[in-house]
Amino acid sequence: MRLEPALFSFSNPDLFVDPYPVYREIRENEPIHRSFMYGGSWVLFSHEDSARLLCDPRLTNNRAGLPLLALGEDERAEFTEFHRFLRTWTAFFEGEDHLLRRGVLDQVFRVLTPDLVSEVVRHAADRLIDGWGDRSQVDLVADFARPLPAMVLTRLMGAPESDHKFLDHWADDLAYLFGASTLTPDDLRRGWASAQAFMAYLKNLATDMARLPERSLLAGLLARTVSGFGFTEAEACAQCVLLMFAGLEPSRHLIGNAILALHSFPDQRRLLADNPRLWPSAVEEFLRYDPPVQYIGRLAAESFTYRGHRIEKGEAVLPFPGSANRDPKQFPDPDVLDIQRHGRHLAMGTGVHRCVGAGMVRVQTAVALRTLLTRIPDLEVCPDRKPVWHSYSGFHGLASLPVSV
């Protein structure tokens, strides 16, 4: 069957609201889909292809130049320094260079024990809920899901929680460059200005190591070495910018999407309330059912043929957790939320570039949602006010979700 070209297009509003029926149709008919994205790319809709190619060394994650590709060639020269900065992010390295940097990041994350993360998250969640006073309705996104991860990550980074609004704002300007469907030179100017402001802030924080909490990401990044490799001060600060950029947006979408999923499946909400031991598997299921990161970007490092398709060097290849996680070959009844389900979802990627914050964010999500639903057991999504979805191509997440409290 020939697919309607408008089906998988950013002009199709369904892609931002409920993309899963669209994915199903493409997965059943053209699981390796030639798409308009990035001027012609390969989108992988099945779980098998996504999982396999995420681990294929013929694809590279060296995508620091991706935002610049959205501009005309004559507009790019202005952003050479910005490009050089993005190239210092661990995520964009490959091979041995990636392993060394990733080794340090993994070590640094080990200091964020579940107890420490739980305490910081509970404190942030309580403060936000206390701030609602006697309101009977709040916006779950603006009043909880959005600020919470910024408050938590700001503290875990080693900065005062009250500064979270600046850090959040700078990280947002950068996230926009990798998530929006179109970009202008002004978007890049804003992103670069925010990256510079963020770096100046972190360098200032780093000058007084003695005041940095010992168990903080910045202190760890400045001090740790693995196999003789350690970051310079500028590189350590740049990794903190990367962590904020990579961590905030999906973390807040996961909280919002999870509340909406529990609203759609009230039996699962009751099951969870009666069996708190199910929280860890519930978080896995939230990640599978409605993953905040819908696709992962890769570029072909060489030309090769995959299942009869000729992929040329430099072309974008996009494994799609959004579709892979609903692949019935991997998950029976994939459109049903089942918090007791087991299986290997791809919401956090797989292979050497898998999410570095995965452990921390699992604890964060469980503690934040549990605190919320324990303190406000009768929290309900307002039936008369529709949720509003973001129109970012890379993420599936809510811009607003009115709830009665």
The residue from 247, 322, 334, 402 that contacts ligand HEM (CB under 6 A) is 247
Burial of 357 (0-12, 13-18, 19+ CB in 10 A): buried
Q: Which is nearer to ligand HEM, 122 or 385 (CB)?
A: 122
Query: Counting contacts by CB under 6 A, is residue 292 touching ligand HEM?
Result: yes
Stretch that binds ligand HEM, among 14-22, 290-298, 310-318, 369-377 (CB under 6 A): 290-298
Minimum distance between the CB of residue 63 and ligand HEM, rounded to whole angstroms?
A: 9
Minimum distance between the CB of residue 157 and ligand HEM, rounded to whole angstroms?
A: 9
Query: Counting contacts by CB under 6 A, is residue 128 touching ligand HEM?
Result: no
Other C-beta atoms lying within 10 Å of the C-beta of residue 238: 23
Minimum distance between the CB of residue 241 and ligand HEM, rounded to whole angstroms?
A: 10
Query: Counting contacts by CB under 6 A, is residue 258 touching ligand HEM?
Result: no
Q: Which is nearer to ligand HEM, 3 or 355 (CB)?
A: 355
Distance, in Å, from the CA atom of 213 to the CA atom of 238, rounded to the nearest integer, reads 19
Q: Which is nearer to ligand HEM, 242 or 282 (CB)?
A: 242
Which 36-75 residues touch ligand HEM, going by CB under 6 A?
Answer: 54, 61
CB 157 within 8 A of CB 244: yes
Query: Counting contacts by CB under 6 A, is residue 349 touching ligand HEM?
Result: yes
Minimum distance between the CB of residue 354 and ligand HEM, rounded to whole angstroms?
A: 5
The residue from 251, 257, 294, 325 that contacts ligand HEM (CB under 6 A) is 251
The pair of structure tokens assigned to 314 is 């430099």
Query: Counting contacts by CB under 6 A, is residue 32 touching ligand HEM?
Result: no
Indicate the DSSP class of residue 162.
Answer: G
Site string for ligand HEM, 131-170 (x = CB under 6 A): ----------------------x-----------------
Minimum distance between the CB of residue 82 and ligand HEM, rounded to whole angstroms?
A: 19
Query: Counting contacts by CB under 6 A, is residue 104 touching ligand HEM?
Result: no
Residue with tokens 């934040």: 368
CA distances for 54 relative to 88, 261, 348, 349, 354, angstroms = 22, 27, 11, 7, 9
Stretch that binds ligand HEM, among 19-27, 68-76, 127-135, 242-250 (CB under 6 A): 242-250
Count Cα neighbours of 249 within 13 Å in the Cβ-side half-sphere.
26
Q: By C-alpha distance, which of 119, 130, 105, 191 is closest to 155?
A: 119
Query: Counting contacts by CB under 6 A, is residue 347 touching ligand HEM?
Result: yes
Query: Counting contacts by CB under 6 A, is residue 394 touching ligand HEM?
Result: no
Query: Counting contacts by CB under 6 A, is residue 353 touching ligand HEM?
Result: yes
Q: By C-alpha distance, which of 10, 99, 210, 355 is closest to 218?
A: 210
CA distances for 109 relative to 34, 98, 102, 217, 242, angstroms = 38, 16, 10, 7, 14
Distance, in Å, from the CA atom of 141 to the CA atom of 260, rounded to the nearest integer, reads 11
**Residue 395 dihedral angles phi and psi, to the nearest 5°:** -115, 150
The residue from 310, 354, 375, 386 that contacts ligand HEM (CB under 6 A) is 354
Question: How many Å is the maximal CA-CA distance in the chain?
Answer: 65
Burial of 174 (0-12, 13-18, 19+ CB in 10 A): buried
Q: For binding to ligand HEM (CB under 6 A), which residues are involved? A: 54, 61, 90-91, 102, 153, 242-243, 246-247, 250-251, 254, 292-293, 296, 347-349, 351, 353-357, 360-361
